[in-house]
Chain A
Amino acid sequence: MVSALLPMRATGACVHRRGKRLIGPVDLVLEGAGLTALIGPNGAGKSTLLKAMHGLERLSMGRIKWACGAAQAQRAQAFVFQTPVMLRRSVLDNLAYPLRLHGTPREAARAAGVEWCERIGLAGMEGRQATVLSGGEKQKLALARALICAPQLLFLDEPSASLDGRATREIEALLRLATQAGTRIVMATHDMGQARRLAREVVFLRSGKVHEHAPAAEFFDAPSTDAAAAFLAGDIVD
């Protein structure tokens, strides 16, 4: 399955806004399985890069190529935004929405929604309006809504930013299950512990450029650049 989509090759990819360069030029190859952690200081361009790969940000220069066509690739992906977007519907209808969009019958979609509600610890809240959930509940719901279609590639923008310890562990368990089931994940995170626990490889982004791209163990034990070492030590890098 994954082979249909990957490898992804970004060459000289740039995103500009009103003449200002947000990211780029980025050269990056995404392949294999597992989870890639995208780390870097605030404003480094992590969210922008994720959106560019997903096709939500238009490239001003360079290109991103998939093993299949771009439209087909996008259809096999899902995205969880840094600030979760809740449809103004019930929790259950939020979960059923992407399935209904792609033609799953109503009853099957609702059944899947109920199942995922349980999996993310929101059982009993199916009928509640999604917009009134707590920040952490919204994040879990957004993740479940992304996973419910079993995407081949999942982009996560800080999925556990406002979660407590227990919810973070639940989410990490879900992500492990997903990678075991063959979903490729690219996750931006500020939680180095989480990156260590989950990531197979790390992409360190700084000022909109890929500064380092290495296997996780290698990166955390012996980062090859001073900036990465300083970032890991908790020093401010810009």
Chain B
Amino acid sequence: MNDLWEGLWQAARLVLSLDADLYEIAARSLRVTLSALVIACAIALPLAAFLAVQRFRWRRATIAILNALMGLPPVVVGLVVYVMLSRSGPLGVLGLLFTPTAMVVAQVIIIVPLIASIAHQSLRELWAEYHDLLISMNAGRMQRIATLLWDGRRALLTAALAGFGRGVGEVGAIMIVGGNIDHLTRVMTTAIALETGKGNFALALGLGFVLIALSVMVNLAIHWLSRTETGGRW
């Protein structure tokens, strides 16, 4: 219990004293996860819409695989990305191992299935509602996908936020591919793991509280943005 209070105190101290290290790793956390989120959304949302509107042979299998991939252990993803990017690996020439880019790659792989599954779930319902109308109006495949993405943007936001939550709190994979190098690849979660390992529970907890605050702030900011965009009508 004492550790908790001490952690809160540390969090307040770090934030208020404008601790340079804290702001650096917090900014890096945000940068890595937001980059991964943008890339993952660009892949997952059209994929989800495509799976909703298009009947094809391997559709059910694809959806099942996507759902299964949601439960992929991040550590294993990290390991696979590590092997791919390591000097002797197939993508070793790119020299990406132990860089923020490698962390983005790992996070994209982890959150794409999550975002795609959640998005597909709601877009499928929307498609059931729209199906007859859009077929009747002769909307082409791209127009159907665009309509679903636009009219379902509220639900897609929820999917994206779930992806952000999973990404920003992820530690196993980015520890492996990033290496937790100070001033280069250290982010909030790996810093917490490090401080915990060193026995600095209060500092670790402090960082934890800052991470939670960060995550809440991003959620609120995105919700607020979407509010103003739709005029708050629904």
- The interface of chain A, by Cβ under 8 A from chain B, is 51, 54, 56, 74-75, 77-79, 81, 85, 87-90, 97-98, 101-102, 127-129, 131-132
Contacts and interface: CB of A to CB of B under 8 A. Distances in A.
Given A74-B138, A87-B147, 10 more contacts: A51-B132, A56-B132, A75-B138, A87-B130, A87-B133, A87-B151, A88-B152, A89-B151, A102-B138, A129-B233
B132 A129 contact: no
Contacts of B138: 74-75, 101-102
18 contacts: A51-B132, A54-B136, A56-B136, A75-B138, A79-B132, A79-B136, A85-B129, A88-B126, A88-B152, A89-B151, A97-B137, A98-B137, A101-B138, A101-B139, A101-B143, A127-B231, A129-B233, A129-B234
A78 B143 contact: no
Secondary structure type dominating chain B contacts:
helix
A101 B137 contact: yes
Nearest to A51: B132
B135 interface: yes
A100 to B, nearest CB: 9
Contacts of A128: 233
A89 B231 CA distance: 12
Q: How many interface residues does chain B have, given as a range?
A: 10 to 19
A81 B133 contact: yes
A132 B234 contact: yes
A88 B136 CA distance: 17
Contacts of B129: 85
Contacts of A88: 126, 151-152, 234
Interface in B187-234: 231, 233-234
Contacts of A131: 234
Contacts of B152: 88
Contacts of A78: 136-137
Interface in B139-174: 139, 143, 147, 151-152
A129 B234 CA distance: 8
A43 to B, nearest CB: 19
Contacts of B130: 85, 87
Interface string B97-135: 000000000000000000000000000001001101101
A88 B152 CA distance: 8
Contacts of B135: 56
Contacts of A54: 136
A50 to B, nearest CB: 11
Contact of A85 (B133, B139, B233, B234): B133
A148 B18 CA distance: 60
A56 B133 CA distance: 10
A101 B141 CA distance: 12
Contacts of B231: 127
Top 10 closest A-B pairs, CB basis? A85-B133, A88-B151, A79-B136, A129-B233, A98-B137, A129-B234, A75-B138, A101-B139, A56-B132, A101-B137
Contacts of A89: 151
Nearest to B230: A129
Nearest to A149: B137
Contacts of A74: 138
B62 to A, nearest CB: 24
A85 B137 CA distance: 12
A81 B132 contact: yes
A119 to B, nearest CB: 20
A88 B127 CA distance: 12
B23 to A, nearest CB: 40
A182 B105 CA distance: 59
Nearest to B132: A56
A89 B91 CA distance: 46
B231 to A, nearest CB: 8
A56 B234 CA distance: 31
A26 to B, nearest CB: 20
A138 to B, nearest CB: 12
A97 B132 CA distance: 15
A90 B130 CA distance: 16
Contacts of B147: 87
Contacts of A127: 231, 233
Nearest to B135: A56
Contacts of A87: 130, 133, 147, 151
B157 to A, nearest CB: 14
